[in-house]
């Protein structure tokens, strides 16, 4: 893996209080990046920032508290970044959630869809002109192979209410919300990459692999939840998964790569549903209306 320095490069990464986002932030800091760290957890996010500064000696790290599922908070975040940073070279859309409790975001969208897809879509669109001015620049969407587990988007149920059945708590519902939202992220990666051809901004999606050792499944109930807690020590190493984040953010080897799906430093196929061009276009238009662009 050929890496280059990120000195004088500005990178924004979401979901940095814990898990893979936190590790990725540490690795990018080691490469000398100026970093904007974002998380819904204020206290933990600030502690993560302080720890990374102490570990790496890189003090060009700012932490910003933001709930990515909230369009007003995403707009405030983007305004702050645009006012304060005249360049943005890397955007890693990593924040993620798996929650069996059915919840709508403050804008009325199902929580997985709001965090993974809509919030990140809005953030990316608001920052895109700055990224074009900073080109070469890179957007990295943290998707999941979980997007392959179900069918295509259900346009009659974009609130993803049906899989929860009549109740408000369901692991099956959480899996469906997760799957559809990660499929949406993957479809949008391809559509955005096509629209950005020739702009100097690349867009790629990443699958970190299955069952990576983080706390993302901690909200799950029943046998699955218990199994995840008991088996977590045997889950996959997040340090390995994060290598692909860093590769796509920093390596000269992939400077021109765009519109691809990656896992463990290699490209791979995403689901058949994710390559449907008419779905990409339809989702783009739906997402613009949803986030008010």
Ligand X SMILES: NC(=O)c1ccc[n+]([C@@H]2O[C@H](COP(=O)([O-])OP(=O)(O)OC[C@H]3O[C@@H](n4cnc5c(N)ncnc54)[C@H](OP(=O)(O)O)[C@@H]3O)[C@@H](O)[C@H]2O)c1
Are the CB atoms for 273 and 208 separated by under 8 Å?
Answer: no
Stretch binding ligand X (CB under 6 A), from 193-201, 211-219, 226-234, 257-265:
211-219
Pick out residues in 219-238 that bind ligand X (CB under 6 A): none
Burial class, 251, CB count within 10 angstroms (exposed 0-12 / middle 13-18 / buried 19+): middle
Closest CA to 192 of 265, 135, 251, 140: 140
Tell whether the torsion through CA atoms of 177, 178, 179 and 181 is positive or negative. positive
CB neighbour list of residue 281: distance below 8 Å, 6 or more residues apart: 191
The catalytic residue among 102, 178, 190, 247 is 178
Q: Which residues 6+ apart lie within 8 Å of 54 measured at CB?
A: none
Closer residue to ligand X, CB minimum distance, 205 or 280 = 205
| DSSP state at residue 206 | E
246 sits near ligand X (criterion: CB under 6 A): no
245 is known as an active-site residue: no
In the bound state, the residue with its beta carbon closest to ligand X is 19
- In 3D, which of 205, 160, 274 has the Cα closest to residue 283? 274
163 binds ligand X, rule: CB under 6 A: no
User: Residue 150 interacts with ligand X (CB under 6 A)?
Assistant: no
Considering the rule CB under 6 A, would residue 214 count as an interface residue with ligand X? yes
Applying CB under 6 A, does 203 fall inside the site for ligand X?
no
Segment interacting with ligand X, rule: CB under 6 A, options 151-159, 209-217, 248-256, 282-290: 209-217
Site string for ligand X, 47-66 (x = CB under 6 A): -------------------x
DSSP 154-177: -TT-TT--GGGTTSSB-HHHHHHH
Does position 274 interact with ligand X (CB under 6 A)? The reply is: no
CB-wise, 48 or 134, nearer to ligand X?
Answer: 48
Report in angstroms how near the CB of residue 129 gets to ligand X at its nearest: 23
3-class secondary-structure state, position 103: coil
- 17 lies in the site for ligand X, by CB under 6 A: yes
Tell me how far CA of residue 152 lies from CA of 19, 98, 180, 204, in angstroms.
28, 19, 7, 20
Task: Please tell me whether residue 39 binds ligand X under the rule CB under 6 A.
Answer: yes
Instruction: Give how many residues touch ligand X by CB under 6 A.
Output: 27
Tell me: does residue 284 bind ligand X (CB under 6 A).
no
**Residue positions counted in the chain:** 293
CB of 123 to ligand X, least distance (A): 10
For ligand X, which residue of 10, 94, 186, 287 counts as binding (CB under 6 A)?
A: 94
Q: What DSSP line would sit under 25-64, residue for residue? A: HHHHHHTT-EEEEEES-HHHHHHHHHHHHHHH----EEEE
Active site positions, annotated: 178
Q: Which residues bind ligand X (CB under 6 A)?
A: 14-15, 17-21, 39-41, 66-69, 94-97, 115, 142, 144, 208, 211-212, 214-216
């Amino acid at each position: 893996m050929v890496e280059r320095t990120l000195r004088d490069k500005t990178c924004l990464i979401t979901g940095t209080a814990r898990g893979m986002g936190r590790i990725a932030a540490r690795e990018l800091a080691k490469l000398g990046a100026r970093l904007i760290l974002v998380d819904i957890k204020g206290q933990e996010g600030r502690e993560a920032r302080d720890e990374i500064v102490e570990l790496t000696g890189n003090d060009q790290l700012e932490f910003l508290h933001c709930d990515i599922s909230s369009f007003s908070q995403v707009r405030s975040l983007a305004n702050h970044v645009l006012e304060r940073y005249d360049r943005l070279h890397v955007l890693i859309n990593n924040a993620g959630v798996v929650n069996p409790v059915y919840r709508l975001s403050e804008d009325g969208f199902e929580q997985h869809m709001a965090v993974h897809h809509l919030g990140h879509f809005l953030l990316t669109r608001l920052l895109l002109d700055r990224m074009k001015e900073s080109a070469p620049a890179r957007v990295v969407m943290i998707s999941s192979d979980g997007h392959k587990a179900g069918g295509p988007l259900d346009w009659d149920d974009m609130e993803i209410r049906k899989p929860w059945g009549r109740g408000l708590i369901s692991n099956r519902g959480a899996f469906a919300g997760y799957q559809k939202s990660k499929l949406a992220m993957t479809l949008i990666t391809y559509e955005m990459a096509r629209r950005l051809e020739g702009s100097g901004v690349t867009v790629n999606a990443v699958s970190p692999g299955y069952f990576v050792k983080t706390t993302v499944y901690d909200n799950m109930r029943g046998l699955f939840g218990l199994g995840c807690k008991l088996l977590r020590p045997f889950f996959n190493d997040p340090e390995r998964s994060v290598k692909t984040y860093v590769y796509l953010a920093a390596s000269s080897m992939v400077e021109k790569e765009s519109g691809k799906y990656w896992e463990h430093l290699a490209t791979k196929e995403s689901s058949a549903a994710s390559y449907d061009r008419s779905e990409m276009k339809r989702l783009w238009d739906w997402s613009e209306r949803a986030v008010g662009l």
